[in-house]
Amino acid sequence: NAGVTQTPKFQVLKTGQSMTLQCAQDMNHNSMYWYRQDPGMGLRLIYYSASEGTTDKGEVPNGYNVSRLNKREFSLRLESAAPSQTSVYFCASSARTVLDQPQHFGDGTRLSIL
Amino acid sequence: SQQGEEDPQALSIQEGENATMNCSYKTSINNLQWYRQNSGRGLVHLILIRSNEREKHSGRLRVTLDTSKKSSSLLITASRAADTASYFCATADIDTGGFKTIFGAGTRLFVKA
């Protein structure tokens, strides 16, 4: 049982390059989320998908786009990477809304933008 | 902006001692959750306490919730070196349907063997 799988685990980009972070879950969860974690801070929500076919902005959506490809997969795209987007990115999923269900996290993608 | 704020930011204790971490939040909540993050890994859910509950136990974990003070505490009893990790509280913004989860900055716990 893999849970939430993120690829790649590490990536270095140059400013202006584009990149798609991949996330897949095998728990048949309805909701999926993308967060970023910066040093000394908690996770900040970038985008979420409450269910297949829907996506919504979180706290820090600028500079990112997402696609809920199907129930299993939720990708995060940086169209033109900037140094301020250097961070650790986490994907998570939950069975329904977070009102009553915990979130399950992947192990993160460590992204450096030079 | 961060809603959950943990206190202390860092805590160092000896194995066998108890560790207490506190969390404060700002808005109305449906529930509050605690997560653990080991170095280089994703967050792992520990325990969820609903707004109508005051205390909850899970193994060596004890969580309390005081909605009047908008605060929660996580107690780890008889700590072990394996408990070394960062601990985060998280609340769901019920005004947006609960999908926007707000995490605090975390408490870094170091348990010395």
B100/A108 touch (CB, cutoff 8 Å), yes or no = no
Which pLDDT value is given to residue B27? 81
Q: Categorize the per-residue pLDDT at A29 as very low, low, confident or very high, splitting at 50, 70 and 90.
A: very high
pLDDT tens profile A74-98: 999 999 999 999 999 999 999 876 5
Which pLDDT value is given to residue A48? 92
Q: In A, residues 44-103, which contact B (CB 8 Å cutoff)?
A: 44-45, 48, 50, 56, 58-59, 90, 92, 97-100, 102-103
Average pLDDT of the residues in B23-40: 90
B88/A42 touch (CB, cutoff 8 Å), yes or no = yes
Residue B4: its chain A contacts at CB < 8 A?
Answer: 42
Sequence-ordered list of residues with C-beta below 8 angstroms from that of B11, at least 6 positions apart, any chain: B19, B21, B107, B108, B109, B110
Q: Which of B2, B45, B97 sits opposite A103 (nearest CB)?
A: B45
Say whether residue B45 is in contact with chain A using an 8 A CB cutoff. Answer: yes
Which pLDDT value is given to residue B2? 42
Say whether residue A107 is in contact with chain B using an 8 A CB cutoff. Answer: yes
Q: Categorize the per-residue pLDDT at A5 as very low, low, confident or very high, splitting at 50, 70 and 90.
A: very high
- SS3 assignment, position A84: helix
Work out the number of other CB atoms within 10 angstroms of the CB of residue A80: 11
Q: Categorize the per-residue pLDDT at B3 as very low, low, confident or very high, splitting at 50, 70 and 90.
A: low
Residue entry with tokens 């500079």: A63
What are A35's two structure tokens? 């967060």
Residues B17, B79: contact at Cβ < 8 Å? yes
Task: Output B80 or B50, whichever has higher pLDDT.
Answer: B80
Residues B46, B72: contact at Cβ < 8 Å? no
Residue A31: its chain B contacts at CB < 8 A?
Answer: 99
CA closest to A32 among chain B residues: B99
C-alpha A110, offset from chain centre: 12
A4/B42 touch (CB, cutoff 8 Å), yes or no = yes
For residue B65, CA distances in Å to B4, B31, B46 come to 13, 9, 15
Q: Categorize the per-residue pLDDT at B1 as very low, low, confident or very high, splitting at 50, 70 and 90.
A: very low
Closest CA to A75 of A87, A64, A86: A64
Task: Output A87 or B1, whichever has higher pLDDT.
Answer: A87
Which pLDDT value is given to residue A19? 95
Mean pLDDT taken over chain B: 90
Say whether residue B106 is in contact with chain A using an 8 A CB cutoff. Answer: yes
B42/A105 touch (CB, cutoff 8 Å), yes or no = yes
Work out the number of other CB atoms within 10 angstroms of the CB of residue B37: 21
- Strand partners for B92: B101
